[in-house]
C-alpha cells in the first residue's frame, strides 16, 4: 500500500529563504526611518536658529560660568596678586564631574586646556571663559561688579541694586536656558517687567580690549566711538572714599592712559584709640582743725595723733624748700618732711613714667609743751589717696582705602558716534571705542 503524501517533497529550503528575505527588508526599512528621523531633527534645530554643536557649547559654558562665579568669593577677588588672573577649569570641576558634563552634552572638551581669565577694569571686572574641545573652541564674556544683588560675590554689572528704583538701569541683560532648553538672551525692562528674548545664533571670535559683552557675542549691540582732535580737561572732582581694600591692590592712574578721566589712589587710614593712664598717689593733706593745749607763740600741726611743732606755717608751700624734679614709673608717697607734687606724664616707646616736683620741710619736731599752755585751733593732717588720670590717643593700626576722582573732557573737537561693532571706516579715521554699548532697538 503506497503512502498518499510524500514528506520528502516539502520545500524546506525555500521556506527559510523567505524568512531571511523578510528580516533583511525589515532592517532596511528601520535604517531608512532612522535617517529620515535624524534629518527632520536637524532641520528642526536649524529652524530654531541653534546648531547642535553650538547649543551643547552654550550649555557647557553656562555650567562653567556658574562654577567660576561660585569659585571667586570675596577673599579670592580681594587678594588677586595682579589685575588679571588665569585659572584652569580643572580648579572648578573634578575629572568625573567634567566627564559627566561632556557625556551629557555629547562633547569632548578638555578639562586642562579650557580656562577662565578674570581681569580688574576700573571699578568692575571682566571674566572670559574659554572652552577648548579638540579642534573646536568657544568662549563667553561676562562684565561683573562687586556691588550687585545676587548670591555670589561677583554679579553681572547690570544687576546693581541702587537705593531708589529710579536709579536702576532701564534694562537688565541675562543669558540662560529657556523652558525648551534653548540658549536665549533676555532683556528685562525694570519698569514694566516685560521680557524680550533673543536667540544666541553666532559667535564673534575677536573682541578689542575695552569692549565688554555680557554673555553674548552676537549683533544685538551698537557701540559708542569717540574722536578727539583737541581738548582740555575740567577740574578734578574731590576724592571719594570707596572703602577699605588690600594695601597691595592695583589702581588706575593717569600714567597708564593717554586720556585720563578717572584716577585712583590708595591712602592709609590710621585707627586711633584712647588709653587711660591712672595712678594713685598717697599725699599728706590737711583734713580739719582740732583744739589742743599748746604753747602760745609756737606753730603746731597734728598727724596720726601726734603733735608736731613747726617754725612757720606748715601749710604754705613757700615755706618749703624746692629740690628739683624726680621721675618715677610708680607713685611717690609724701611724709612729714617731703612733699611730691605731680608735674607731668611721660610717654617713651610704649613705656610710661611720671615726673614730680620735690619739696622738703626740715624744721619740724615733736612738740615740747614745757610752757604755759593755752587752748588753740591747729591743723590736723592725714594720708589721703589722690588719683592722677591722663588720657592719650595712640595708634591702633591702619587700613588702606581706595579713593577715586573724576574729570571731564571739554572742547569743541570731541565727536561721539554710535555704530556697529568693528566699524572699519570709523576705526581708520581716528575713532576709538569708549567702552559704552546699548542694545539695538
pLDDT tens for 84-132 read 888 898 888 988 888 888 888 778 888 888 899 998 887 788 888 888 8
User: In whole angstroms, what is the distance from residue 184 CA to residue 181 CA?
Assistant: 9
Sign of the CA dihedral 182, 187, 193, 195? negative
Predicted pLDDT at 107: 81
Looking at the chain, the whole-number percentage of residues with pLDDT higher than 70 is 73
User: In whole angstroms, what is the distance from residue 92 CA to residue 95 CA?
Assistant: 10
Q: In terms of pLDDT, which residue wins out, 349 or 32?
A: 349
User: In whole angstroms, what is the distance from residue 361 CA to residue 105 CA?
Assistant: 101
Q: What angle is formed at CA 87 by the lines to CA 83 and CA 92, rounded to 5 degrees?
A: 130
Nearest to 97 by CA among 87, 82, 109: 109
Mean pLDDT of 145-151: 78
Nearest to 87 by CA among 63, 115, 62: 115
Q: Which are the contacts of 210, defined by CB distance < 8 A and separation ≥ 6?
A: 433, 435
Predicted pLDDT at 48: 38
Q: Tell the residue number behind the cell numbers 555629547, with chain if given.
A: 106
Q: Tell the residue number behind the cell numbers 580690549, with chain if given.
A: 209
pLDDT tens for 327-342 read 988 888 898 889 999 9
Q: Which are the contacts of 56, defined by CB distance < 8 A and separation ≥ 6?
A: 105, 106, 107
Other residues' Cβ atoms within 10 Å of the Cβ of residue 98: 22
Predicted pLDDT at 357: 93
Mean pLDDT of 177-191: 54
User: In whole angstroms, what is the distance from residue 199 CA to residue 108 CA?
Assistant: 25
User: In whole angstroms, what is the distance from residue 238 CA to residue 241 CA?
Assistant: 10
Residue 164 has pLDDT above 50, yes or no: no
Q: In terms of pLDDT, which residue wins out, 171 or 341?
A: 341
Mean pLDDT of 236-258: 80
Predicted pLDDT at 262: 83
pTM of the model: 0.33
User: In whole angstroms, what is the distance from residue 323 CA to residue 416 CA?
Assistant: 84
298: left (phi over 0), alpha (psi -120 to 50) or beta: beta
pLDDT tens for 202-245 read 333 233 333 333 333 345 678 888 776 666 778 889 998 888 88
Residue 54 has pLDDT above 70, yes or no: no
User: In whole angstroms, what is the distance from residue 434 CA to residue 420 CA?
Assistant: 13
Q: Which three cell numbers stand for residue 262?
A: 578717572
| Residue 356 contacts residue 322 (beta carbons within 8 Å) | no
User: In whole angstroms, what is the distance from residue 122 CA to residue 322 CA?
Assistant: 68
Q: What is the DSSP string of 144-199?
A: EESSBSSSSSSEEGGGB--SSGGGS-SEEEEEEE-TTS-EEEEEEETTT--EEEEE
Determine which helix (DSSP H) or strand (DSSP E) holds 77, and give its type and residue range: helix 74-78
Predicted pLDDT at 258: 58
Phi, psi of 116 (to 5 degrees): -130, 135
- Per-residue pLDDT band for 363 (boundaries 50, 70, 90) equals confident
| Residue 50 contacts residue 199 (beta carbons within 8 Å) | yes
In the predicted model, what is the mean pLDDT of the chain? Answer: 75
Predicted pLDDT at 12: 65
Residue 288 has pLDDT above 70, yes or no: yes
Residue 432 has pLDDT above 60, yes or no: yes
Looking at the chain, the whole-number percentage of residues with pLDDT higher than 90 is 7
Residue 181 has pLDDT above 50, yes or no: no
Predicted pLDDT at 358: 93
Amino acid at each position: 500500500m503506497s503512502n498518499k503524501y510524500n514528506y520528502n517533497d516539502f520545500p524546506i529550503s525555500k521556506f527559510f529563504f523567505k524568512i531571511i528575505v523578510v528580516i533583511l527588508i525589515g532592517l532596511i526599512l528601520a535604517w531608512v526611518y532612522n535617517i529620515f528621523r535624524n534629518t527632520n531633527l536637524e532641520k528642526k534645530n536649524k529652524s530654531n536658529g541653534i546648531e547642535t554643536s553650538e547649543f551643547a557649547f552654550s550649555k557647557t559654558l553656562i555650567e562653567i560660568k556658574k562654577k567660576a562665579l561660585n569659585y571667586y568669593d570675596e577673599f579670592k577677588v580681594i587678594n588677586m596678586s595682579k589685575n588679571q588672573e588665569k585659572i584652569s577649569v580643572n580648579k572648578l570641576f573634578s575629572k568625573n564631574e567634567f566627564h559627566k558634563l561632556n557625556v551629557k552634552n555629547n562633547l569632548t572638551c578638555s578639562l586642562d586646556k579650557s580656562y577662565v581669565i578674570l581681569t580688574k577694569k576700573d571699578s568692575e571686572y571682566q571674566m572670559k571663559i574659554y572652552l577648548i574641545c579638540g579642534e573646536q573652541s568657544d568662549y563667553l564674556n561676562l562684565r561683573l561688579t562687586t556691588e550687585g544683588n545676587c548670591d555670589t560675590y561677583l554679579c553681572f554689572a547690570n544687576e546693581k541694586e541702587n537705593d531708589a528704583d529710579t536709579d536702576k538701569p532701564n534694562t537688565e541683560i541675562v543669558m540662560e536656558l529657556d523652558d525648551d532648553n534653548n540658549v536665549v538672551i533676555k532683556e528685562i525692562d525694570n519698569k514694566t517687567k516685560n521680557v524680550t528674548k533673543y536667540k544666541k545664533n553666532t559667535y564673534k571670535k575677536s573682541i578689542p580690549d575695552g569692549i565688554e559683552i555680557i554673555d553674548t557675542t552676537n549683533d544685538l549691540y551698537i557701540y559708542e566711538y569717540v574722536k578727539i582732535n583737541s581738548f582740555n580737561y575740567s577740574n578734578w572732582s574731590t576724592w571719594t572714599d570707596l572703602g577699605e581694600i588690600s594695601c597691595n591692590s592695583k589702581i588706575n592712574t593717569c600714567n597708564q592712559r593717554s586720556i585720563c578721566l578717572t584716577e585712583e589712589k590708595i591712602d592709609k587710614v590710621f585707627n586711633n584709640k584712647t588709653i587711660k593712664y591712672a595712678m594713685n598717689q598717697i599725699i599728706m593733706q590737711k583734713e580739719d582743725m582740732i583744739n589742743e593745749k599748746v604753747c602760745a607763740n609756737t606753730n603746731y600741726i597734728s598727724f596720726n595723733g601726734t603733735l608736731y611743732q613747726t617754725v612757720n606755717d606748715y601749710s604754705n608751700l613757700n615755706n618749703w624748700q624746692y629740690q628739683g624734679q624726680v621721675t618715677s614709673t610708680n607713685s611717690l608717697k609724701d611724709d612729714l618732711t617731703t612733699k611730691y607734687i605731680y608735674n607731668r606724664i611721660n610717654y617713651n616707646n610704649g613705656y610710661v613714667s611720671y615726673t614730680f616736683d620735690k619739696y622738703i620741710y626740715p624744721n619740724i619736731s615733736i612738740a615740747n609743751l614745757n610752757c604755759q599752755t593755752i587752748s588753740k585751733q591747729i591743723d590736723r593732717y592725714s594720708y589721703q589717696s589722690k588719683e592722677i588720670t591722663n588720657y592719650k590717643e595712640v595708634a591702633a593700626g591702619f587700613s588702606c582705602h581706595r579713593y577715586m576722582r573724576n574729570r571731564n573732557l571739554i572742547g569743541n573737537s570731541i565727536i561721539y558716534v554710535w555704530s556697529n561693532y568693528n566699524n572699519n571706516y570709523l576705526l581708520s579715521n581716528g575713532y576709538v571705542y569708549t567702552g559704552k554699548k546699548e542694545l539695538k532697538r
